[in-house]
Amino acid sequence: MKRAGLPKNISLESVVDSVAEGIFTVDLDWNITFFNQAAAQITNISPVEAVGQKCWEVFASSLCDGACPMQPCLKNGKSVLNKSGFILGADGEKIPIGMSSSPLKDKDGVVIGGVESFRDLSSLHQLMLKVEERYSVEDIRTNNAHMIRMLQILPPIAQSTSTVLLLGESGTGKELFARAIHNQSMRKEKPFVAVNCGALPGNLLESELFGYKAGAFTDARKDKPGRLELAQGGTLFLDEIGDMPLPLQVKLLRVLQEKTYEPLGSVAPIQADVRFVAATNRDLETMVSEGTFRQDLFFRLNVVRIDIPPLRERTEDITLLTNHFIRQQNSLKGKNINAVSERVHHVLFQYDFPGNVRELENIIEYAFILCPGKMIEMAHLPEHLKPQIREQHTPCDYAIPTDAAGMAQHKHHAVLQALDKHNGNKSAAARELGISRDTIRRILKRHEAK
Amino acid sequence: MDICITGYQNRVATLLETATELRLYSLEGLRVVRSGMTAMPTAGACILPTYLKSMGVEIVICGGLSKAVQDGFEALGIQVISWVKGPIEVVLTAYLEDKLDTMIMPGRTNRNAF
């Protein structure tokens, strides 16, 4: 029988280098012996740097310590298929990957090493995250010092059983925080149930929250579980709690105090094993003083209070979030947009973002529809951003120098501004500008030399 | 000064998140005056900045770590030396001799200056 094989003028290495999956091989001492081009692209490490090094030092995945798929290959000659984990990019971003390993054998069948193939699952991961909404603390992206401090206390808060009150303008990410708290808590395997208290009229909200028994009212033909019951063992997120009608506030207070409630039409109390996270964009303290929000309920909810600042007060996050949303949209839409133009960057920095992070996300999503190339330009922004630019700024505010000297001056000015803003902290300034510390050093050095 | 090296089986853990042990050293000048070891907290890497801060740790030497955790350390004033590889004792010696730049994983640069 004729054996299939490569034509003599085509090397196996060139074939392996042309596939989209990352592939590398190791010897029995875990030293990398081959690293293909896709592996280099996904890990951002060149084959020259990788070959000869221990695989865990190059690959640096979440599976390397303790769950290495290559181990059964080298020890027992067994293949391992479709394990998932992540590697870390140089910027500290997690890149989800799927990987498989197989032993490499010589012509006598003796194991002489292993081969690992892996692929970037970022697109799939983004899609899953959107669908399942299993957000973690690490999905809250920020460079803002106040937010970073807040994120530090989020894990212990999540681990506690305390009620949490999230305050912040619309679009600041209150539900993201609520989900991160749930997913970091002991209740993470149980349901996370969200109710928007402002979306339903009082009587409907009551039956939605507490459920009802058959015959409780006309059309109640059979029992319907409430959100409280659906959230049993887990977390109930009460969004827009400030919009809850006063009579319902009394009923909710009782659940918080006594941990029991009765569905409509029922006489038997039900135990509520639920952790409450509430959120609002309204000023509850003022509402209490005006008598539109119960003081006792406010005190019950205000055990752990988290104030999420609006995006206009954390402009250092605009670049970070813009890049994040570009990456996210690239994954979801299958595009390859690299960045926003300098002019768009300026516009975003000047904009107030009344809709906060959600509005920025929408702006990027809109720009993705119109942007055919690799760079989001002014023409791709929503119209409402354009008049504001004309009204608030003279054209020279956005004049981007085109000559090399002018551009160098412009960069130097931007670096000085960022350093000033962050009290000379180069790491923070670099993050804000979306460049490395080395680039900052180079720009400063170049200017000193003049 | 107290430092922590995040470890896995006597070497620096590949990632901070996959560390199983925290090696703690108290230094006086270039001399280790006290050392100890504790397990990685079960709540994971997110809680590590506050956990190590409460122990008085000022410098963390680790493998790769996510931006969120790095920010957490920086917010608490803890210096992080990341992407370090090698056996823990060798890494400690390299730190004391100011030679940690020879112990960085290939293709990476430590995000903080030594």
Within this chain, do residues A152 and A221 fall inside the same structural domain, yes or no?
A: yes
Q: Which domain holds residue A377?
A: 313-400
Interface of B with A in 34-63 (CB under 8 A): 43-44, 46-47, 49-50, 63
Within this chain, do residues A408 and A364 fall inside the same structural domain, yes or no?
A: no
Within this chain, do residues A259 and A321 fall inside the same structural domain, yes or no?
A: no
Say yes or no for a CB contact (<8 Å) between B15 and A65.
yes
Distance from CA of B98 to the nearest CA of A (A): 20
Within this chain, do residues A174 and A103 fall inside the same structural domain, yes or no?
A: no
pLDDT confidence of residue A3: 58
Q: Which residue from B18, B65, B70 is facing A66, i.e. has the nearest CB?
A: B18
Say yes or no for a CB contact (<8 Å) between B46 and A137.
yes
A336 contacts A342 by C-beta, under 8 angstroms: no
Q: What are A173-216's pLDDT values in tens digits? A: 999 999 999 999 999 999 999 999 988 887 889 989 999 887 77
CATH number at residue A423: 1.10.10
Within this chain, do residues A173 and A92 fall inside the same structural domain, yes or no?
A: no
Within this chain, do residues A70 and A104 fall inside the same structural domain, yes or no?
A: yes
User: Which chain A positions have a beta carbon within 8 Å of B75's beta carbon?
Assistant: 145, 148-149, 152
* pLDDT over 90, % of chain A: 53
Burial class (CB in 10 A: 0-12, 13-18, 19+), A418: buried
Within this chain, do residues A424 and A338 fall inside the same structural domain, yes or no?
A: no
Q: Could you give the count of Cα atoms lying within 13 Å of A112 in the half-sphere of its Cβ?
A: 7
Q: What are A228-283's pLDDT values in tens digits? A: 999 999 999 999 999 999 999 999 999 999 999 988 888 888 899 999 999 999 99
Within this chain, do residues A146 and A283 fall inside the same structural domain, yes or no?
A: yes
Within this chain, do residues A186 and A286 fall inside the same structural domain, yes or no?
A: yes
Q: Alpha-carbon distance A322 to A307, whole Å?
A: 22
Instruction: Tell which residue, B9, B3, B11, B12, has the closest CA to residue B59.
Output: B3
Q: Which residue from B17, B74, B107 is facing A44, i.e. has the nearest CB?
A: B107
Task: Examine residue A125 and state whether it is found in any structural domain, yes or no.
Answer: no
Average the pLDDT over A360-370 and give the result: 93
Q: Is B66 in CB contact (< 8 Å) with chain A? A: yes
pLDDT confidence of residue A405: 61
Within this chain, do residues A153 and A299 fall inside the same structural domain, yes or no?
A: yes
CATH number at residue A272: 3.40.50.300
Q: Searching chain A, which residue's CA lies closest to the CA of residue B21?
A: A65
A272 contacts A234 by C-beta, under 8 angstroms: no
Residue A225 dihedral angles phi and psi, to the nearest 5°: -70, 145
Strands A111-120 and A164-167: unpaired
Q: Of A59, A88, A120, which residue is a domain's last? A: A120
Within this chain, do residues A247 and A358 fall inside the same structural domain, yes or no?
A: no
What ipTM goes with this model?
A: 0.87
Q: DSSP string of A364-427?
A: HHHHHHH--SSEE-GGGS-TTHHHHHHHH--GGGG----SHHHHHHHHHHHHHHHHHHTTT-HH
Domain B2-103 in CATH 1.10.420.10: no
Task: Examine residue A327 and state whether it is found in any structural domain, yes or no.
Answer: yes
Helices A202-210/A246-258 angle, 10° precision:
20
Average the pLDDT over A133-147 and give the result: 84
Checking if the pLDDT of B114 tops 50, the result is no
Q: Is A153 in CB contact (< 8 Å) with chain B? A: yes
Residue A340 dihedral angles phi and psi, to the nearest 5°: -105, 155
Interface of A with B in 56-95 (CB under 8 A): 56-58, 60-62, 64-66, 88, 90-94
- What are the boundaries of each domain within chain B? 2-103
Structure tokens at A310: 């609006």
Within this chain, do residues A278 and A414 fall inside the same structural domain, yes or no?
A: no
Helices A145-159/A174-183 angle, 10° precision:
40
User: Which chain A positions have a beta carbon within 8 Å of B66's beta carbon?
Assistant: 88, 92-94, 138
Q: Alpha-carbon distance A116 to A25, whole Å?
A: 6
Mutation target to probe the B interface, by most B beta carbons within 10 A, among A30, A56, A314 is A56
Q: Of A381, A400, A419, which residue is a domain's last? A: A400
Q: Is B13 in CB contact (< 8 Å) with chain A? A: yes
Say yes or no for a CB contact (<8 Å) between A152 and B49.
yes
For chain A, the domain total comes to: 4
Average the pLDDT over B29-45 and give the result: 88
Q: Of A87, A120, A153, which residue is a domain's last? A: A120
Task: Examine residue A384 and state whether it is found in any structural domain, yes or no.
Answer: yes
Q: Is B67 in CB contact (< 8 Å) with chain A? A: yes
Checking if the pLDDT of A95 tops 80, the result is yes
For the entire predicted model, the pTM comes to 0.70
Average the pLDDT over B46-69 and give the result: 92
- List C-alpha distances in Å: A387 to A297, A377, A378, A382: 44, 16, 12, 10
Structure tokens at A351: 């904009």
Task: Examine residue A279 and state whether it is found in any structural domain, yes or no.
Answer: yes
